[in-house]
């Protein structure tokens, strides 16, 4: 295993620029890693090795001429299969798109290319980004690099697994209910969900080609990395206004306040009262808080006084019903998949928890949406954003769990998850800690803070103020310096007696 596979992107770019190593050498190290381990993980679904080699060679020739393409000159990256890539198959794990080759890059892909990145290929995902596991009808399921019997999360499981396993220095993902943050937590990497509408979604599916642009609320685009520095680099390259998406405002990147760590006011919650987290997660968060307190940080337990999770999740599902009603394609396969999701969410898991995230409660709006109902939901949405804005005024950041569960074993889509002897509905186990901040639009970063007793990663969610990503990244880096940081999986995965590959713990 080459050290290059786990060298941060910003360092690789500097090494290539200084001619300490060639872009071709960096690329080949990543291709070797993919050749060794991707058949176990299924993280990359479309590899573009030939074109990547051509691009890496051109990057080396440019350096020799004294040319510099940008901040990612010669650095290999992967792209979630939900973003269009010119000349490279883009499927979103959806059968009708199995041969779809876009003519134009998604805006964020074009921005990485213009910064000199070498695109290795596309990463596997949940079908049409519709699950907290990464399974679809086109490619084998994504396995967690820490233990192949467990899911890497979803919908961006391939992205998180690829970065964790050293297949790629960076990956792009999207997040409407936790699709960046939950896989980052499950795979032990860093993930950034920016402010709603901070980054263009142009060229992103699940609005399949020909469908109207419906995902105008709660859907964000972000990135995966193995360090805060790389999140900052990637975010600064892909953020900003886009003529293809006029609803992305021309808000400049913020300038961090420069507060010293002891002067930050940090709020924390180890669980929502209605949705207890796994004991290992709660212990890891409490240990992290204790470590921060020992550094002299101002850290205080806190919950907003009017944070009604049941109302929050109900509003989230109502808006999601409206925007997905027309964004999702109408075909027999997708209809059956959606009905199965609603049925399992409504019937599996503890009754009190089902009431928090029961998609069947929004069936009237899903089956017979009205313009008035949509505007009522949007009005409530605006009130909630203002509520969280006001609640966070007193704090620099808010630390929370990412999910109620660490990575769990593979199971049928949207099946219940067992947490410390209690059955949780799938959406509640995975989304109860992420959906509120899709609804409010606040930026969030996930950092690794430890492991469960059986060696699975645990992440911490750090919530910041809207439009203050650079401040959030700076604070997250200060927090991260005192905690465990990224650890790569051993990838020594023996085959057990049943023929299934499992990672050693």
Catalytic residue IDs? 80, 155, 179
Distance CA 486, CA 480 (A): 10
Strand partners of residue 47 = 121
Q: Is 222 within 8 Å of 235 (Cβ atoms)?
A: yes
Distance CA 178, CA 370 (A): 27
Task: Please report which helix (H) or strand (E) contains residue 397, including its range.
Answer: strand 397-400
Mark out the alpha helices in 295-394 (DSSP H runs).
309-327, 332-347, 351-354, 363-367, 371-391
Angle between helices 469-480 and 228-238 (to 10 degrees): 170
CA 337 vs CA 138, 327, 331: distances in Å: 15, 15, 10
Question: What are all long-range contacts of 12-21, with beta carbons under 8 Å and residues at least 24 apart?
Answer: 12/74, 12/75, 12/169, 13/71, 13/72, 13/73, 13/74, 13/75, 13/116, 16/59, 16/63, 16/73, 16/74, 16/75, 17/63, 17/68, 17/73, 19/63
Task: Please report which helix (H) or strand (E) contains residue 157, including its range.
Answer: helix 157-164
Q: Is 489 within 8 Å of 502 (Cβ atoms)?
A: no
Distance CA 199, CA 245 (A): 9
Distance CA 165, CA 167 (A): 6
Strand partners of residue 221 = 174
Q: Is the peptide bond before 155 cis (omega within 30 degrees of 0)?
A: yes
Distance CA 342, CA 83 (A): 26
Distance CA 226, CA 6 (A): 8
Q: Is 172 within 8 Å of 238 (Cβ atoms)?
A: yes
């Amino acid at each position: 295993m080459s050290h290059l596979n786990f060298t941060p992107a910003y360092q690789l770019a500097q090494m290539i620029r200084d001619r300490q190593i060639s872009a071709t050498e960096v690329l080949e190290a990543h291709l070797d890693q993919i050749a060794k381990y991707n058949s176990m993980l299924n993280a990359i679904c479309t590899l573009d090795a030939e074109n990547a080699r051509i691009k890496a060679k051109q990057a080396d020739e440019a350096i020799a001429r004294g040319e510099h393409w940008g901040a990612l000159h010669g650095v290999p990256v992967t792209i979630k299969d939900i973003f269009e890539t010119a000349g490279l198959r883009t499927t979103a794990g959806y059968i009708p798109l199995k041969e779809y080759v876009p003519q134009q890059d998604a805006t964020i892909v074009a921005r990485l290319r213009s910064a000199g990145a070498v695109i290795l290929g596309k990463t596997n995902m949940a079908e049409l980004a519709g699950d907290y596991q990464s399974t679809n009808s086109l490619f084998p399921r994504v396995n967690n690099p820490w233990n192949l019997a467990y899911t890497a999360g979803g919908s961006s499981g391939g992205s998180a697994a690829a970065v964790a396993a050293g297949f790629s220095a960076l990956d792009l993902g999207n997040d409407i209910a936790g699709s960046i943050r939950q896989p980052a937590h499950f795979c032990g990497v860093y993930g950034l969900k920016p402010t709603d509408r901070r980054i263009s979604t142009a060229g992103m599916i699940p609005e399949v080609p020909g469908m109207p642009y419906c995902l105008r609320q709660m859907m964000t685009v972000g990135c995966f990395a193995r360090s805060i520095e790389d999140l900052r680099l990637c975010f600064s390259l892909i953020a900003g206004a886009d003529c293809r998406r006029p609803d992305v405002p021309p808000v400049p990147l913020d300038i961090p306040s420069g507060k010293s760590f002891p002067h930050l006011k940090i709020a924390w919650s180890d669980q929502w009262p209605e949705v207890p987290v796994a004991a290992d997660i709660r212990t890891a968060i409490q240990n992290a808080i204790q470590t921060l307190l020992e550094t002299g940080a101002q850290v205080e337990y806190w919950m907003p006084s009017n944070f009604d999770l049941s109302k929050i999740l109900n509003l989230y599902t109502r808006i999601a019903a409206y925007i997905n009603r027309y964004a999702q394609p109408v075909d027999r396969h997708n209809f059956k998949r959606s009905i199965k999701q609603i049925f399992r969410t409504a019937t599996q898991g503890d009754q009190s928890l089902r009431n928090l995230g029961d998609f069947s409660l929004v069936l009237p709006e899903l089956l017979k949406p009205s313009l008035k109902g949509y505007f009522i939901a949007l009005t409530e949405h605006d009130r909630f954003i203002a509520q969280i804005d006001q609640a966070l005024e007193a704090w620099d950041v808010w630390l929370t769990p990412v999910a109620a569960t660490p990575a769990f074993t593979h199971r049928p889509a949207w099946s219940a998850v067992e947490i410390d002897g209690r059955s949780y509905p799938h959406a509640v186990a995975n989304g109860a800690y992420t959906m509120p901040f899709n609804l409010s639009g606040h930026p969030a970063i996930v950092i690794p803070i430890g492991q469960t007793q059986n060696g699975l990663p645990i992440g911490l969610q750090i919530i910041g103020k809207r439009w203050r990503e650079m401040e959030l990244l700076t604070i997250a880096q200060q927090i991260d310096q005192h905690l465990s940081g990224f650890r790569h999986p051993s990838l020594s995965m023996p085959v057990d007696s049943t023929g299934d590959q499992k990672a050693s713990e």
